[in-house]
Amino acid sequence: MIWQAEQIEKSYRHAVLSGLCLAVGENEIVGLVGESGCGKTTLARIAMRMERPDAGALLFDGRNYAEYPDRKAFYRQVQMVFQHPGEAMNSRWTVRSILEEPLRNLSEVPTVVRNERIAEALDSVHLPASLLNESPRNLSGGQAQRVNLARALICRPRFVILDEPTSALDAAVQRQILQLLRELQRGSGASFLMISHDLKALAEVADRIAVMHAGRIIEECLPGQMLRLEKLTAR
Ligand SMILES: Nc1ncnc2c1ncn2[C@@H]1O[C@H](COP(=O)(O)OP(=O)(O)OP(=O)(O)O)[C@@H](O)[C@H]1O
Ligand SMILES: [Mg+2]
């Protein structure tokens, strides 16, 4: 397993995560589905070390998070695409600077190689190099999400969390991004945890689906087992 959450507990004013267990394997896309407010983003933030769990253990590559004291080394390997694509990018920056930032801050990629890596990253999400000098303000929703994906993957992480990567997009663009996600996973060999409340979208890309309810995983199945899942998520 590349990533594991064991018996995670987290409360704010009320219990949000209670005894949550979930694991993601090498080269795997795991879909995480659950109704609004059930704690999906909270889990993602905990997995990204933006919040601490009250109890439980988190492991990356078989080792407890505490064994990764160097945050930069950790974030080179574990990345996230945030729920609201617009908010995730600084609109005063250009696409180039958005893509360059993780290379500059997290990686040891030499300056001379950075432009090459930026061009590769943009190409991998099928955007033209002409967008490099644009502001994210001038991008469509689909283009903005492609830039977010390129940024998350540019340091070649091994595990990527995608929080509702298609829910802000219209149906046609959603389909393209879902297809791209599968392609990017295959191309990178990274593992993805894809969060969504859209079971159909998850079933299209995930190798396995975990159903979350009231702060824990209540069921795990293969995308083919849709009927049973639909009943569970409809309750
Ligand atoms: N920082 C916080 N302080 C207080 N309560 C919070 C905080 N973050 C999340 N919560 C609460 O935790 C619960 C779960 O929120 P979370 O955002 O994780 O749900 P979600 O499953 O991602 O929902 P959605 O599908 O709408 O994105 C909600 O009741 C929310 O109000
Ligand atoms: Mg959320």
Ligand 1 pocket residue status of 40, Cβ below 6 Å: yes
For residue 39, which atom of ligand 1 is closest to its CA?
Answer: 18
State in Å: Cα 40 to ligand 2 middle: 5
Q: What are phi and psi of 155, to 5 degrees?
A: -90, 10
Q: 40 burial class (0-12, 13-18, 19+ CB within 10 angstroms)?
A: buried
Question: Is the Cβ–Cβ distance between 30 and 209 less than 8 Å?
Answer: yes
**Max Cα separation, the chain?**
54
The pTM score is 0.94
Q: Whose CA is nearest to atom 29 of ligand 1?
A: 37
Q: 46 burial class (0-12, 13-18, 19+ CB within 10 angstroms)?
A: buried
* Confidence band for 227, pLDDT divided at 50, 70 and 90: low
Query: Between the CA atoms of 229, 48, 74 and 80, what dihedral angle is there, to the nearest 10 degrees?
Result: 70
* Confidence band for 91, pLDDT divided at 50, 70 and 90: confident
| pLDDT at 106 > cutoff 70 | yes
Pocket test for ligand 1, best of 8, 22, 41, 211 (most atoms within 8 A of CB): 41
Q: What are phi and psi of 217, to 5 degrees?
A: -85, 125
What 8-state DSSP symbol labels residue 180?
H
* Residue among 162, 187, 186 nearest 174 (CA): 162
CATH 3.40.350.10 fits 3-233, yes or no: no
Q: What pairs with residue 32 in β-bridges?
A: 195, 210
Over residues 111-131, the pLDDT tens digits come to: 889 999 999 999 999 999 999
* Confidence band for 224, pLDDT divided at 50, 70 and 90: confident
Stretch 121-143: mean pLDDT:
95
Angle between the N-to-C axes of helices 95-106 and 141-153, in degrees from 0 to 180, rounded to the nearest 10: 20
Q: What are the structural domain ranges in the chain?
A: 3-233
Ligand 1 pocket residue status of 38, Cβ below 6 Å: yes
Ligand 1 pocket residue status of 39, Cβ below 6 Å: yes
pLDDT at 168: 87
Stretch 18-38: mean pLDDT:
96
* Confidence band for 88, pLDDT divided at 50, 70 and 90: confident
pLDDT at 90: 84
Q: Residue 209: which region, alpha, beta or left (left: phi > 0; alpha: psi -120 to 50)?
A: beta
For 150, other C-beta atoms within 10 Å of its C-beta total 23
Q: Which has more pLDDT, 15 or 89? A: 15
Mean pLDDT of the chain: 94
Over residues 30-86, the pLDDT tens digits come to: 999 999 999 999 999 999 999 999 999 999 999 999 999 999 999 999 999 988 766
State in Å: Cα 2 to ligand 1 middle: 25
The contacts of residue 84 (CB under 8 Å, 6+ apart) are 168
* Residue among 117, 98, 205 nearest 162 (CA): 205
